Amino acid sequence: MLVDVFIFAFSMTITPGPANIALLAASTQHGVRASLGFLLGVLFGFYLLGSALSLGLYLAIEQQPILLDVLRILGTAYLLWLVYKIATTKHMAEGNSVAPSFWYGLLIHPLNPKAWMMISACFGQFTTPETASVSTFLSIIAVFGIGGAISNTTWFLAGSKLKAWLNTPQKVSLFNRVAAAALALVIIKLW
């Protein structure tokens, strides 16, 4: 079953989404070393969300569906802020520019309804009433996180390779507008 979870996770997380696009933009703008904290925040945020869902947060949302609406609104506001930050960057990061932090990365998955739905769908697909337990859910999250980490890191490293191509302000501006538009389209799809 865990191999199937990995395949599911990788296929769900390799596609463009808020985390991947933000990671691509961060490593393109600031480089791998400066953006590593952001990547670690994204990865840790996924495990944080998955663990919370495994421990019963999803049950609270089932009982109080308004919580999911609040999550969706907060998540959309945060993602739109990311769109703005990406779209308004007109040049490559200078030496005094600050890369997104671990804490910004930590918020991406918990505030992203797509992440909640992927995790919930995974739990639904790979557990039964007989096998459903905290330990089963945590095992699923561990394997899902590995697939997601591979996907997120792939996008992160791809951004660092793009940096060499982005050698003029016009190319940087175009890239940032395209990345911001892609993220905006993902947000629209989530609604």
Compute the distance between CA of residue 27 and CA of residue 158 in angstroms, rounded to an integer: 8
Mean of the per-residue pLDDT values for the chain? Answer: 83
Short-list 175, 188, 156, CA closest to 80: 188
Maximum C-alpha span of the chain: 58
pLDDT value for 5: 87
Domain map (residue ranges) of the chain: 2-190
Q: What is the average per-residue pLDDT within 158-163?
A: 84
Per-residue burial over 36-49, b = 16 or more CB atoms within 10 Å of its CB, e = otherwise: bbbbebbbebbbbb
pLDDT value for 2: 85
Asked whether residue 46 carries a pLDDT value surpassing 90, the answer given is yes
CA distances from 16 to 11, 12, 25, 51, 155 (A): 11, 9, 12, 23, 9
Q: What is the pTM of this model?
A: 0.76
Asked whether residue 57 carries a pLDDT value surpassing 70, the answer given is no
Q: What is the average per-residue pLDDT within 87-110?
A: 79
Asked whether residue 153 carries a pLDDT value surpassing 90, the answer given is yes
Compute the distance between CA of residue 31 and CA of residue 24 in angstroms, rounded to an integer: 10
The string of pLDDT tens digits covering residues 113-129 is: 778 878 887 887 888 77
